[in-house]
Amino acid sequence: MSEKRSQFTGKIGFVLAAAGSAVGLGNIWRFPYLAAKYGGGIFLLVYIILAVTFGFALMCAEIAIGRKTGQSAIGAFKALDKRFSFIGVLASVVPMIILPYYSVIGGWVTKYFADFTFGYAGLAAQDGYFETFIAKPFEPIVWFSVFIGLTALIVLFGVEKGIEKVSKIMMPILVVLTLFVAIYAMFMPGAMDGVIYYLKPDFSKFSATTVLAAMGQLFYSMSLAMGIMITYGSYMKKDVSLEGSVRNIEIFDTCIAFLAGLMIIPSVFAFSGGDEAALGKGPGLMFITLPKVFDSMPGGSIIGAVFFLLVFFAALTSSISLMETVVSIITDKTKLNRKVTCLLVFLGSVLLGICSSLGFGVWSNVSLFNMTILDMSDFLSNSVLMPVVALLTCIFVGFIIKPKALSDEIEITGKFKAKKMFNVIIKYIAPVCIILILISSVLDALGIMKI
């Protein structure tokens, strides 16, 4: 008999750890930028509706699969129906792809935090600073190694003493820091126009792509379709309310995304004199535009340091969930000892991450469809594998094991209030929507259709 499975101590530990996974770079950098692009208030509204229906149902399903079987993705699908363990295998590939490149970006965040803390804000705000930094062969790899080394260290301490403890400290600090920066940003001269731009619905920008973009963002933001919530569910105690926990995680994730918009959009607006184009800089927004914005603010190096610290916490708790998922899949499958697995996963990710990092410099000529190594990994995991896994999971739950198998698990602690909605979404609504996301994101990436 293998050793007893670790567990989160209770609801708070579980919710904070799962929210730690959900709240990440996606909330802080990607959400505000999408909201600004797709009509402000209207995007927010669509996103919130999708989060409490679609996101809720999928997250309940994944956590219930994990808790019911007590296993990580591959074992969980196998335990429910042997013929379908391939869904678990596909789901497991996703965190293996994401972990290395997510940590490369985590390394950039760490570097910017250090720059702002040690008084180099002016330097970080200079034109070309970011491009020069990421193209260097060694320095980004050093920061990446620091970030992933820290991730591995926390995962090594285990579910309760590592992940739960760190989440209980970092997540509340993250909320306080986010509120602080958001309030500061909103009250800067010229910032109110940005607040209005962010919150006022622009109905003319509403279209089917708004819904698709919101749904794509939702998946990534709630860490769905990559085995993470299955793994975390397998560490959840049976006497904790699953439905209530999912509601809390969802609120946490959406509130931080919303506040991130209030931090970023008004400050960029104030800085650029109301020029919306400054928001549409894609990945450059966080590393190119924001450092300039902070540098121009009174007290900006402190605000910048606080901002990059909160982004660092958000990214770290997410990378922890990615690594834990990979480690848990390997230990469940091979019965290797946890420490050895951690070391192997760490080394494997360092190798892959180095390739991603070099893709911005010496290997920048390695590309496919015009994408760098990092973009390619991102495309493969987010635009292809995740929708496929989500679709297969819905079909599996809706028609093979049937939603009742999971709603019974959810009802262990009492009535499942959203049971009807859960059934309908999993069986019909989610599969149709996911097929649409899949088609549009592939067309988008191949440049055939622009979302």
Residues that bind ligand PHE (CB under 6 A): 21-22, 24-27, 98, 220-221, 223, 226, 228, 318, 321-322
CB of 236 to ligand PHE, least distance (A): 18
CB of 31 to ligand PHE, least distance (A): 8
Q: Which two tokens stand for residue 25?
A: 């770079």
Virtual torsion, Cα 119, 130, 323, 217, nearest 10 deg = 110
Q: Which residues, 6 or more positions from 243, have their beta carbon under 8 angstroms from its beta carbon?
A: 60, 410, 416, 417, 418
Q: Which is nearer to ligand PHE, 98 or 354 (CB)?
A: 98
Q: Which is nearer to ligand PHE, 317 or 407 (CB)?
A: 317
Nearest to 276 by CA among 207, 221, 200: 200
- Exposed / middle / buried, residue 275 (Cβ in 10 Å: 0-12, 13-18, 19+): exposed
Q: Which is nearer to ligand PHE, 98 or 213 (CB)?
A: 98
Q: Which helix (H) or strand (E) holds 401?
A: none
Q: How far is CA 391 from the centre of its chain?
A: 19
Q: Which is nearer to ligand PHE, 29 or 416 (CB)?
A: 29
Q: Which is nearer to ligand PHE, 191 or 228 (CB)?
A: 228
Measure the CA–CA gap between 304 and 301, rounded to whole angstroms.
5
Q: Which is nearer to ligand PHE, 201 or 348 (CB)?
A: 348
Virtual torsion, Cα 214, 215, 220, 222, nearest 10 deg = 100
Q: Which residues, 6 or more positions from 245, have their beta carbon under 8 angstroms from its beta carbon?
A: 11, 14, 15, 18, 63, 236
Contact 425, 54 (CB under 8 A): yes
Q: Which is nearer to ligand PHE, 97 or 240 (CB)?
A: 97
